[in-house]
Chains A and B, each alone.
Chain A
């Protein structure tokens, strides 16, 4: 019912906005949304992107950071293609923004859905989500090196890697790890959500996972899981103890444990393709205000995010190189739709 109200308001507001634009082309003084802004989540409810988007919505509301309401909508169909295609088809509507996960790159490559990050305008990188190699605490592997040695010594596909979705970030990290296992492959078992993956590992139904920190932190703290290494170039900067003994910063990087693999997931915001610089600046400004709140800092620490903030040309360059990285990894693993 609430939604129905919104869409009606949206419709009226769209008409008003159109007439307002005709009347006063005063974009030079900065831009303000003329109707509610829709934040599209190209994933289902309850996942990492969903949590972050709803968190942003909550912070915007709590601190009154936007004059127009921010509406959050899940468009998860076809591994997120639904959400991205909506952004592509509304290129002239700057009242739409989207939060990304790695499916920005993996979905078009893996399913052949006709879109590309260039169909949208990059706004800002909010953070990078980490990946950690986890095993069950009952298992004897104390380091990533020991685990990889065990995989090398085992038979092909003996070790089971659980992950979220298929041909998406978790399986890509798995494929990258497989470059280092002397030709031995994992049996990759796709599940529908990160929380489920963590619980399957606790129940010993899989041998290891590459869950994001926030997906497995509860089980880590309860002493059910062991973190072997983090897939980042440097150790995490969070040094507050999370478990009895360890902080995020105590987890060695995979590289220093003899597994030279790096992978992070973009948590970024894009808007529609034909947005003007003033419109992009408006969103950057709102996001900066969100990131300045103590709520955001707490959220970042809880999920052990890598707090890298980028906008403009830097951000675009990062996205471009990430696109190449994904295309290479997916090509090598045979995940491309055209293969």
Chain B
């Protein structure tokens, strides 16, 4: 129980009026950053990092991690209201969150998203509190082959879960892979498919694609539907929190699954984005409500949000104990630690207990403060939907354009966003699912790197993916997931034959 004592000491450090004030400021900024697409948590933290050099390290990291919590919370808002993911990890939240808003349940979706974010984060912090050294050791087992196995599992758990057929999902995913391969090839250090265009050096940025595909695509679809957002406007009722919380306990299994997936992806380090996709995919596959996913099911909001927040929080663990960042934001925070004179790594817990436990205590507090703040604002967020389309749509287009520009400070990306917008519209019309494309775009190059690293290490021997129980287990699970639709179809066929054989 040394951890408990240390944690109480940590609370003593974190619980001061000054620190609570920093949390409130940080979370407010974070929510704004999360709402604006393009200006991700990593950018926000990077911009504010130099401001914190004059502060004490504990105060500084409380401010910066609070921005991170705020961004994690805020990303869900625009996903639900306008189908525009404010952050990469809230793409999966749009799948059911936006249909809920269209059904007039925007407030329930928001409360569900915020609450499940909170649950995911607290689960991850508890794990960090008690299991940090063990978890750090587990993360060391991950070489290239293991990383690829995890990425393969993510893709596999997605196959056959889209609205269209499995083949349309595959086609969409392959297009995503093709887009992901543009730019510098990290393995050989040569440029691929840039056709001599300097603008393409950076490749297709995930955020630009997402803002266009979802945000602009949605606006185009709405225009066709008669210049208004679908569905009745939400009736503003103040009891949204209680109404939603009553529904949550029956989803406990989804919470547990998403927490585990999230923590695992945060540590390995896969990051919050794949975690949210995987959480959604697994819930859809295993939940009783799975059939209704995509039509506005609260559980479809809970699953990705819980996983994303659990991953986002546990991503800080490998940063603290190993010095490897589990997410881009964690990478910036890592730089901050070094600048404040702290050396992340195996000795940080021993040498800087005040800092570490103060940080961990601030994770509990920051998330509680954040939850209270965002929940009280739900009616305001939901009220945005009452603004007429003719006012809100141009505002969204402007915000999207700014967001796309911010990613690289390049006008080229704004044009790219518009092209992606048309593509998103066409995908909708032709009933091709967008999520597999987005997933392939965000994870494609990582999966490619891991695969090729593994091939280098094994000198081209594919059996490296079954060389140990960890990697082999994940790969096998992935294969089962990939062929699950085929397997269920087969089973249904046999079962169907059985029914036919029986006399009617």
Most buried by A among B49, B201, B341: B201
Does B279 count as interface, using CB distance less than 8 angstroms?
A: no
Does A131 count as interface, using CB distance less than 8 angstroms?
A: no
Instruction: Give A74 to B408 CA distance when docked, in angstroms.
Output: 8
Residue pair B189, A77 in contact (C-beta under 8 Å): no
Does B325 count as interface, using CB distance less than 8 angstroms?
A: yes
Residue pair B201, A3 in contact (C-beta under 8 Å): no
Q: In the assembled complex, how far is the CB of residue B353 from the closest CB belonging to chain A, in whole angstroms?
A: 16
B82-118, CB < 8 A from A: none
Residue pair B183, A78 in contact (C-beta under 8 Å): yes
Q: Chain B: how many interface residues by the 8 Å CB criterion?
A: 62
Residue pair A219, B323 in contact (C-beta under 8 Å): yes
Instruction: Give A160 to B464 CA distance when docked, in angstroms.
Output: 15
Does B5 count as interface, using CB distance less than 8 angstroms?
A: no
Residue pair B201, A78 in contact (C-beta under 8 Å): yes
| Chain A neighbourhood of B20, CB < 8 A | none
Residue pair A192, B449 in contact (C-beta under 8 Å): yes
A176-227, CB < 8 A from B: 187-193, 195-196, 198-200, 202-203, 205-206, 214, 217-219, 221-222, 224
One of B347, B406, B449 near A4 (C-beta < 8 A) = B406
One of B47, B50, B140, B322 near A61 (C-beta < 8 A) = B50
One of A61, A168, A202, A218 near B347 (C-beta < 8 A) = A218
Q: In the assembled complex, how far is the CB of residue A42 from the closest CB belonging to chain B, in whole angstroms?
A: 11
Residues 16-44 of chain B, each 1 if its beta carbon lies under 8 Å from chain A, else 0:
00000000000000001100100100111
Residue pair B339, A189 in contact (C-beta under 8 Å): no
One of A58, A166, A205 near B50 (C-beta < 8 A) = A58
Instruction: Give A62 to B346 CA distance when docked, in angstroms.
Output: 30
Does A7 count as interface, using CB distance less than 8 angstroms?
A: yes
A3-50, CB < 8 A from B: 3-4, 7, 44-46, 50
Instruction: Give A190 to B47 CA distance when docked, in angstroms.
Output: 29
| Chain B neighbourhood of A221, CB < 8 A | 343, 345-347
Residue pair A51, B453 in contact (C-beta under 8 Å): no
Does B51 count as interface, using CB distance less than 8 angstroms?
A: yes
Q: In the assembled complex, how far is the CB of residue B450 from the closest CB belonging to chain A, in whole angstroms?
A: 10
Does A145 count as interface, using CB distance less than 8 angstroms?
A: no
Residue pair A46, B325 in contact (C-beta under 8 Å): yes
Known: A45-B331, A203-B140. A190 touches B33 (CB 8 A): no
Instruction: Give A74 to B347 CA distance when docked, in angstroms.
Output: 30
Residues 293-314 of chain A, each 1 if its beta carbon lies under 8 Å from chain B, else 0:
0000011001000000000000
One of A2, A61, A78 near B202 (C-beta < 8 A) = A78
One of B331, B346, B347 near A46 (C-beta < 8 A) = B331
Q: In the assembled complex, how far is the CB of residue B268 from the closest CB belonging to chain A, in whole angstroms?
A: 11
| Chain B neighbourhood of A205, CB < 8 A | 143-144, 457
Q: Secondary structure at chain B's binding surface: helix, strand, loop or mixed?
A: helix
Residue pair B187, A1 in contact (C-beta under 8 Å): no
Most buried by A among B53, B139, B328: B53
Instruction: Give A112 to B409 CA distance when docked, in angstroms.
Output: 24
Residue of A nearest to B344 (CB): A218
Residue pair B347, A222 in contact (C-beta under 8 Å): yes
Most buried by B among A3, A168, A206: A3
Residue pair A61, B53 in contact (C-beta under 8 Å): yes
A: which residues have CB within 8 A of B?
1-4, 7, 44-46, 50-51, 54-55, 57-59, 61-62, 72-79, 81-82, 85, 106, 110-113, 157, 160, 165-168, 171, 187-193, 195-196, 198-200, 202-203, 205-206, 214, 217-219, 221-222, 224, 298-299, 302, 335, 337
Mind listing 18 A-B residue pairs with CB under 8 Å? A1-B33, A51-B338, A61-B51, A62-B54, A77-B201, A77-B202, A78-B194, A81-B201, A106-B189, A160-B457, A171-B189, A189-B456, A193-B324, A195-B323, A195-B324, A202-B140, A203-B141, A205-B144
Closest CB pairs A-B (n = 7): A218-B345, A46-B331, A77-B202, A78-B201, A205-B143, A166-B189, A167-B189
